[in-house]
Structures are given as structure tokens and as C-alpha cells.
Amino acid sequence: MTSRIRVKGERPYDVVVGAGVLGELPGLLGDDVRTVAVVHPASLPEISRPVCGVLEAAGHTVVALPVPDGERAKSVEVAAELWSAFGRYGVTRSDAVVGVGGGATTDLAGFVAATWLRGVKVVQVPTTLLGMVDAAVGGKTGINTPEGKNLVGMFHPPAGVLCDLATLVSVPRDDYVAGLAEIIKGGFIADPTILLLVEDDPEGARVPEGRHTRALIERKIQIKADVVGADLRESGVREILNYGHTLAHAIERVESYHMRHGEAVAIGMVYAAELSRLSGHAGLGLVERTRSILTSVGLPTAYRLEAWPELREHMRVDKKNRGASQRFVVLDDIGKVARLEDPPEELLEAAYREVAR
């Protein structure tokens, strides 16, 4: 069965979900495109080759552009290599980029598409759980800099997103489970049914063939589609998708991006829940449920106590900040998102002590 989730906005597009749906790719690209630059991790030839094959069979001139694996691709150096390649191969405004891989690859592919010739079409083909339910949908593209995570980027919505569930079978277990963090985030901010489905079968949630896998994926994509369809540029409601990310990005920076994004988000959500509780927004129940659901699927919930001063410095560089004002996404309850502005330092530290215990 193939499903289509519509993302509204200035240029609406579909997220196509199904097993063995690669044949839908030419349709998502449209008729006007001649050359297609396929950006993919060098380590995944068995996944990028069929993508290139489908495009060639549809009559496109295909340029396969391998990039480093995972987060190492999200650098200005790799972006510059791709811009050079686009120049060499003559990628024009009527051509397109296809990003194939995990969220790191689709973030990079989206970014180079957004910046090349001031914006060419991109279609995303996410091949990890996290890429499907979060990174490839919504048009946030970007790279990391020494100062922090995703600090350089553009809002550049794709022309389509193709989630071939068949690709999930080869995703390493820890990477798959990391994607669950973003699904669980969706449960806390907007759709409590997600939490019930994970709690009903935590073991099943950890594998692509789980009883509720398809529902979890589609529900999370639907949340993302609804939110970014209403607020592409994060001037309001989109901030809810950043729940847990203030600490998460700081941890990733401290770990020099060697910790998986989803794992950092899991710890970040415990911090956000503790911040919600200690600031009087939410009750103890939120914190307990956060810890228990994350633990049940094997995600981390704690980080080193002594890292706090360094983490605190990195948290100051966050896109939600406005001038000297530091802003956090917290919960009043499950599905009820609130903002916390300039909380006292003692509160921020007290919440962290709970995470470090």
C-alpha cells in the first residue's frame, strides 16, 4: 500500500510512503528536469545505484555524487565540493538534486540545492527512520560549523519526498532506534497515540517489521506536515518541533557530532521535561513517562554532570534565542506546548542535575 501525505504551503508537495516505491521518483521530479545530481553517502552504493537506475530509465542524465557518511557530510567543505561538481556538470535552474540517505545527507543535499543558482529543485529520498519521519520533510536544510549545529542553512522545501520503507531493513539497529526519538518527540508535542503505540510494543518499535511501525511513521510525518505547512520559516508554531533540541544540539557539539542526533534528542527531551516540571509548567508524570518510554526502546536519558559548564555555553548559540533572550520549548502537558523565556540560571542547572543523576 502506498500513502501520500500532503505538505501544504506556498509550494505544496507529497511525502510518498510505501515499500518498493522507487518507481514514483520520476513523477515527483516532474517533466521539465533533464540532469539530476544524486547526492548520496559513498558507503551506500547498494541504495544509490537503484535510485540512479530508475532516473536513467526515465530518461534523465544522472550525475552520482558520493559524499562522506553521516554527519561528516554536513560541512562547508563538502558543500563546496558539490557546488564545484554542479558547475562542472552544468546543473541549471531546470535541473534537480536528489538527496539519498539519512538525515545528514538530505540536510546537505537540500542545502546545496537551496544555494546553487539561488535555488534548484530538490527531491528527498530518506533511507533512515529519522530521515523519513523528520529530516527530509519540511525544508530545513543546513550544515554544521565549528560554532554549532545547523548554524548555516536555508528553508528550501523539497518538490517531493519518497520514503521507501524497504530501505529501512539495512539500517543499523542503533541508527534505527535513534530515529524513534523524533517519533516519540511527536508523541509528546502533538499526538499521544504515538506514545501509546510505542508503550504497547516497545520491542516492535525498535524494528522495521514492528506491528505499529507503519502507523508510527505516518503519524509522525503527518505532525511534521501539519506544522511546517502552517509555518515553514519557524516564526511561530514550528518551534514545537525543536522540543528537546536546545540541550541536544549542545551535547552533539560537545561530542564533536559523534553521538547520534536522535540519542542527543532523547537526553534533551528528559531535560526539557525536567525544565517543564521545575518551572511549574508540567507535573512529575511528564518526566516519569519521558524517562520510561525512552528507556523502554533503549534510548539514553542521562549525560555527564561535569559537562554542564561547556553545554551551557553551547546552549547560548541556539536559533530560538532573540538578542540576549534565551528561549526554551517546554510542555504544560502532553500535547500542550509552551515557551519558557530567560529562565533563571539556577533553574537551568537544577534541571540538568536531574538529567545527570
Annotated binding site for NAD(+): 69-74, 103-107, 127-128, 140, 149
Strands (E), the chain: 3-7, 13-18, 35-41, 61-67, 96-101, 121-126, 140-145, 148-155, 160-164, 327-333, 336-341
Known catalytic residue at 319: no
Please say which residue, 26 or 179, places its beta carbon nearer to ligand NAD: 179
Positions touching ligand LNCXM5UN (CB under 6 A) are 134, 138, 140, 149-150, 182, 234, 238, 241-242, 245, 319
Closest CB to ligand LNCXM5UN among residues 241, 351: 241
Report d(CA 102, CA 106) in Å as an integer.
6
| 37: Cβ contacts below 8 Å, ≥ 6 apart | 63, 65, 82, 85, 86, 89, 91, 95, 96, 97, 98
The verdict on whether 77 is a catalytic residue reads: no
Q: Which does 75 bind (CB under 5 to 8 A by kind): ligand NAD, ligand LNCXM5UN, none?
A: none
Given 40, 121, 144, 182, the catalytic residue: 182
Annotated binding site: 69-74, 103-107, 127-128, 140, 149, 182, 245, 261
Q: Does the protein bind ligand NAD through residue 38 (CB under 6 A)? A: no
Residues 81-120 that bind ligand NAD (CB under 6 A): 101-105, 107
Using the rule CB under 6 A, is 127 a contact of ligand NAD?
yes
**Is residue 233 annotated as a catalytic residue, yes or no?**
no
Residue nearest to ligand LNCXM5UN (CB): 150
Site for ligand NAD in 169-198 (CB under 6 A): 170-171, 175, 178-179, 182
Active site residue 40: no
DSSP letter (8 states) at residue 207 = S
Rounded to whole angstroms, the maximal C-alpha distance in the chain is 61
Residues contacting residue 23 through CB under 8 Å, at least 6 positions apart: 54
81 is catalytic: no
Which segments of 233-300 does DSSP mark as H helices, in order?
245-254, 261-278, 284-296
Compute the least distance from the CB of residue 140 to ligand LNCXM5UN, in Å: 5
Find out whether 161 and 14 touch, Cβ atoms under 8 Å.
yes
SS3 258: coil
CB of 130 to ligand NAD, least distance (A): 4
Side-chain half-sphere CA neighbours of 131 within 13 A: 30
220 is catalytic: no
Active-site hit among 242, 252, 253, 291: 242
Give yes or no: 245 in active site: yes
Encoded amino acid at 237, one letter: V
Q: Is 140 a catalytic residue?
A: yes
Alpha-carbon span 285 to 262, nearest angstrom: 23
Q: What is the DSSP string of 281-298?
A: SS-HHHHHHHHHHHHHTT
Q: Which of 156, 206, 245, 319 is catalytic?
A: 245
* φ/ψ of residue 209, rounded to 5: -95, 15
CA 249, CA 267: separation in Å to the nearest integer?
Answer: 10
56 is catalytic: no
Residue 101 vs 186, nearer CB to ligand NAD: 101
Q: Which residues bind ligand NAD (CB under 6 A)?
A: 41, 43-44, 47, 69-71, 74, 101-105, 107, 127-128, 130-131, 134-135, 138, 140, 150, 167, 170-171, 175, 178-179, 182, 260-262
Active site residues: 118, 140, 182, 224, 234, 238, 242, 245, 249, 261
